[in-house]
Structure 1
């Protein structure tokens, strides 16, 4: 780990107060390793503009896990993170849920190669990578997953079209969004009708440090 990096906050009380969960010592170490490796690789891969430790904690780690907070009590899940980029939300989800099997999907080979190395360094045996475009993978792996996570990929209707084919009947997709408008909701409904999806929940919240407005849109594949 790069010793010159400022320390990543641990903030167990803040984790507990906002999510009803906090990392144990091993999970905190994994978060610190992820932070260090992402920032090191960021110098040549342009993975993220979020590099300050407090921002990284809130906008990458906390935000990733807040999206799945309503699902904390679920047992083992087959999860795919579509368009994972630097590994978010999939990496924090894999750390927090060692009983979940998490697939990190991205179309950029360089990012996937970085993530494969990171997984070995961090020791995340329940997480693996997949390179390809979501549309093609959706045809190859129809119905393969219980849960799909889509963050910072594009409009909500496009995210739904990527996610729903990958889900088993009854499977859930979570679309991570900032603001949420009536216009976006109307366009999303068109995609849901095309792919046997239903709107399950709109989870609205604010981030704990900067009070940013966030929404997680839960959609379910009905058949």
Structure 2
């Protein structure tokens, strides 16, 4: 598939989700897709090897939360980012947002440092550290992730990263009713959004969680 074809595939999928991308954003996203596909062969960033599926199942999936995140300058951390998902796509389409991508896997963070260098993203940063050991200089407005096995793992593992008025944003598949019921009492579900991902038949949900002040 040519670069032109990949761009058309991305643009059509984004428009289906009512997201208008600028030419510069499309170019950056496809540059990232190309790097991801290339490095994936040796760095095992993802089980998805088909470059078209990288567009559909990684980029469009990451962009599906775009409309639900707060507008204006925000500091977000993508925990367990792996190959930069959803952090890199969000940093590209939300230049007002400062995105930190955290992962303990050295190979994956080396890839991300290269991505930031080649794409020239000034509003993104990479941290190679285990989440429980990471102590940021400033707390975050939002913690976002699609990597955690459960909501309990997410909120308990990342609580120290979020300021008192911030929110957790959990990207999930099927609505996780049992996980919500098992949340510690100091956390609560603020909102659940059923999100649509172009060319994806499965269920997708974005959950917004808050923590009570001490």
TM > 0.5: yes
Q: Using CA pairs below 8 Å that are at least 6 residues apart, which structure has the higher relative contact order?
A: 2
Quote how far apart the aligned CAs of 1:143 are.
6.2
- SS of equivalent to 1:8: helix
Q: CA deviation at 1:67?
A: 2.1
| SS in structure 2 at match of 1:47 | coil
**1:67 touches 1:174 (CA, 8 Å); kept in 2?**
no
Establish whether residue 183 from structure 1 lines up as the match of residue 182 from structure 2.
no
1:39 to 33, 37, 62: 37
Corresponding residue for residue 217 of structure 1: 207
- Is 2:45 the partner of 1:55? no
1:103-139 deviations in Å (ceiling 9; x for gaps): 01000111111110111101111111011111121xx
Aligned to 2:165: 170
Q: Give ranges in structure 2 of 5+ residues lacking alignment.
A: none
Instruction: Quote the offset at 1:153 in angstroms.
Output: 2.6
RMSD of aligned residue pairs (Cα, Å): 2.1
2-structure distance, mates of 1:13, 1:40: 23
Q: Distance in 1 between matches of 2:96 and 2:123?
A: 7
Matches within 5 A, 1:1-223: 7-10=5-8, 11-18=10-17, 20-71=18-69, 74-137=71-134, 140-141=135-136, 144-187=139-182, 189-190=183-184, 193=185, 196-223=186-213
Displacement over 6 Å in runs of 4+: 3-6
* Contact persistence 1:142–1:165 (CA under 8 A): no
Paired residue total: 212
| 8 Å Cα contact 1:9/1:53 also seen in 2 | no
TM-score (norm: length of structure 2): 0.90
User: What is the SS of the residue equivalent to 1:213?
Assistant: coil
- Alignment check: 8 A CA contact 2:29 2:89 kept: yes
